[in-house]
Amino acid sequence: MANNFSLFRNKVLEEAGSQVYFMASFFRNIFKSTFEMNEFIRQCFLLGNKSFPLVSITGIILGFVLTLQSLPTMKEFGAESFVPKMVTVSIVREIGPVIIALICTGKIASGIGAELGSMKVTEQIDAMDVSGANSVQYLVVTRILACTLMVPLLTILADALAICGSFIAMNLNQYVNYHLFFQKCFMSLSFDDLLPAFIKSIFFGFTIGFIGTYKGYNSNAGTESVGFAANSAVVSASLWIILIDAVAAQITNAFVYT
């Protein structure tokens, strides 16, 4: 039992040290003069373009379903007019950033993990290093920064579409004036709602990019490691997103909403 615990502890410490070293390599290569701007722009386009349809559909359905589920309960208390405010604040503060981050984890982190894992197995990364190219800057830095930029933008898009989905749900059984509806939505928001959610989505994007690149870049030899890297990237990134959200909620409640 003691030997098993010792092996587990050593493995955890080794993995933590490897991630710290990988993150240090990332920060060392950000500000180098040879930054791959073209690859960064290409990754931003690929990540945003491929995730746009899924994020859009998710956002609309999210606002639609949340409104439908909330209306009966709010009607019982005679508070139907508060539905736009409740849905908007719930989506912007918490539901939107977390759900979209988890969606992007399954879409982006798995793709990055599989792509870099495949390059590792076929020794393309080793070939880049041998030829003098900076594989960390070209493959890692560009993808992490692209995720850090695009996930918050996709979250903003999904939040806007979720509010539109809520408007559609409100108009299923009765007509609701669009001007009055959106006025209530935007009047319910404040800077204290938007800023924490935006900052949180930035950390989510960084986590998705970092975990995806780390798992793919450090995958072991063998074709089975490609699938393992993709699966491990999704699981690890999802867990970290939930943990970061819990910490962010505590910080926000302590310094913003009190």
> Residue 25 falls within a domain, yes or no?
no
> Residue 6 falls within a domain, yes or no?
no
> Residue 17 falls within a domain, yes or no?
no
> Residue 16 falls within a domain, yes or no?
no
| Number of domains forming the structure of the chain | 1
Spatial separation of the C-alpha atoms in residues 75 and 82, rounded to whole Å: 10
End-to-end CA, the chain: 47
Tokens 């390599």, residue?
25
Could you list the residue range(s) of the whole structural domain that residue 137 is in?
Answer: 36-255
> Residue 20 falls within a domain, yes or no?
no
> Residue 8 falls within a domain, yes or no?
no
Spatial separation of the C-alpha atoms in residues 238 and 101, rounded to whole Å: 8
Helix, strand and coil in the chain, % to nearest 5: 85, 0, 15
Q: How many CB atoms lie within 10 A of CB 60?
A: 20
> Residue 40 falls within a domain, yes or no?
yes
> Which pLDDT does position 103 carry in this prediction?
93
> Residue 239 falls within a domain, yes or no?
yes
Q: What is the mean pLDDT of each run of 10 residues along the chain (258 residues)?
A: 67 81 87 83 90 92 92 81 88 92 91 88 84 86 94 94 92 82 86 88 95 88 77 91 92 73
